[in-house]
């Protein structure tokens, strides 16, 4: 398939513009939706920090009051487990994917390892509080307070990793959008240049056509020389072929008319000479008869040449009329 056709160029440029625009829009929408999910994930990771502190504060409150109402404590533990599992395995109904990088997965596993002894101490603390075992209560409380800071720091690392990951993705989205718009701009600029070039070829063709129509009818027509798209070249070649035929016909008609006129003049001269001879030999009957026949032949030939001349003049008139019609708007 040739790409030098106007229709092919327009279709190709249109297809590139449509595909590029569609790609930029679709990818931007998908990445922006992913950013919404990432913001939710960061919010969940940040909430994990708060929940770990809430668990420790609940333990401290229960220790000081001696109450055994564990609803707030159990609720915080349940929310923490839901959040950490969501970060690790994802949550389809919230459009949250599993941990996106190996570094984040490793950090979540590290937090889960710290969580297990922390959670075991909380459960031991609850049982000791119910039983009133002060020694176990104090011991587990100290372990919970000590491990809480380590757990909190590792959860902070999860938040930091997710924040950095989201920032990198946001930068990628910006760069992709800038790149996409740059490509679109270049395609639009390239399309404009191509259309301008096509327009210039079309104007050149029209100017050449007007130049042909305004030329002297008696002068040969110069052929067109246009180097452009296939369609314009084909039209120019067809018109050049027509111009060549017209030039050839006009040249032939002029040459034929000149030859016909010269032959007619020669016949007139011969007729005059024969007339003189006929006058001199008028008394010779045999010769006079032959001369009369020759004279008839000469007259017939002269009439034939005159008719040929008239036909050639009619041909030239038709060609002139054809060229004049080209000048008419």
pLDDT reading at 253 higher than 50: yes
Segment 57-115, tens digit of pLDDT:
999 999 998 888 899 999 999 999 999 999 999 888 888 889 989 999 999 999 999 99
Instruction: Classify residue 161: in a domain, yes or no.
Output: yes
pLDDT beyond 90 at 122: yes
Mean pLDDT confidence for 1-16 = 64
Tokens of 178: 């800038």
52-59: list long-range contacts, CB under 8 Å, 24+ apart: 52/80, 52/148, 52/151, 52/152, 52/155, 53/148, 53/152, 55/80, 55/122, 55/144, 55/148, 56/144, 56/145, 56/148, 59/122, 59/125, 59/141, 59/144
Q: Are residues 85 and 166 in the same domain?
A: yes
Domain boundary among 152, 175, 198: 198
Residue 58 pLDDT: 93
- 262 and 192 inside one domain: no
111 shares a domain with 43? yes
Per residue in 217-244, pLDDT (tens digit) is 556 666 656 555 555 566 666 666 666 6
- Return the CATH number at 65: 1.20.120.1730
44 and 176 in one domain? yes
The pLDDT of residue 55: 94
- Please indicate whether residue 209 or residue 100 has the higher confidence score (pLDDT): 100
CATH of the domain at 262: 1.10.287
Q: Output 204 or 226, whichever has higher pLDDT.
A: 204
pLDDT above 70: percentage of residues in the chain: 53
Q: What is the DSSP letter of 166?
A: H
Name the one residue in this structure whose structure tokens are 């409150």: 61
What domain range includes position 61?
6-198
State whether 193 and 234 are in the same domain.
no
Please state, in angstroms and rounded to a whole number, the distance separating the CA atoms of residues 114 and 154: 9
Q: What percent of the chain has pLDDT over 90?
A: 28
Q: Residue 132: its pLDDT value, please? A: 86
Could you tell me if residue 236 is inside a domain?
yes
What's the structural domain count of the chain? 2
Answer yes or no: is 283 within a domain. yes
The answer to whether position 45 is within a domain reads: yes
Sequence-ordered list of residues with C-beta below 8 angstroms from that of 121, at least 6 positions apart, any chain: 140, 143, 144, 147
- 36-40, 105-109, 189-193, 291-295: which has the minimum mean pLDDT? 291-295
Q: Is residue 65 part of a domain?
A: yes
Does residue 91 lie in a domain region? Answer: yes
């Amino acid at each position: 398939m040739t790409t030098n056709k106007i229709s092919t160029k327009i279709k190709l440029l249109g297809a590139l513009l449509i595909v590029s625009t569609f790609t930029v829009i679709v990818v931007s929408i998908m990445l922006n939706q992913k950013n919404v999910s990432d913001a939710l994930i960061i919010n969940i990771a940040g909430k994990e920090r708060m929940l770990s502190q809430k668990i420790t504060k609940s333990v401290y409150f229960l220790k000081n009051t001696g109450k055994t109402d564990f609803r707030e404590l159990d609720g915080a533990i349940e929310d923490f487990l839901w959040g950490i599992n969501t970060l690790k395995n994802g949550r389809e109904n919230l459009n949250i994917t599993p941990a996106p990088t190996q570094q984040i997965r490793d950090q979540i596993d590290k937090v889960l390892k710290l969580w297990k002894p922390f959670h075991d101490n909380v459960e031991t603390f609850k049982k000791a509080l119910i039983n009133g075992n002060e020694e176990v209560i104090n011991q587990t409380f100290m372990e919970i307070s000590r491990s809480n800071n380590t757990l909190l720091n590792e959860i902070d690392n999860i938040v930091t990793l997710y924040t950095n990951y989201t920032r990198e993705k946001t930068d990628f989205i910006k760069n992709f959008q800038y790149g996409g718009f740059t490509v679109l701009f270049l395609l639009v600029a390239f399309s404009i240049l191509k259309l301008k070039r096509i327009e210039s070829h079309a104007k050149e063709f029209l100017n050449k056509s007007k130049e042909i129509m305004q030329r002297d009818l008696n002068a040969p027509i110069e052929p067109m020389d246009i180097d452009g798209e296939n369609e314009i070249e084909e039209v120019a070649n067809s018109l050049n072929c027509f111009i060549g035929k017209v030039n050839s016909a006009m040249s032939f008609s002029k040459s034929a008319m000149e030859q016909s006129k010269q032959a007619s003049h020669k016949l007139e001269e011969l007729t005059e000479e024969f007339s003189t001879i006929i006058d001199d030999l008028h008394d010779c009957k045999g010769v006079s008869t032959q001369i009369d026949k020759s004279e008839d032949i000469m007259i017939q030939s002269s009439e034939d040449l005159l008719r040929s001349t008239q036909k050639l003049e009619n041909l030239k008139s038709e060609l002139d009329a054809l060229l004049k019609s080209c000048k008419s708007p």
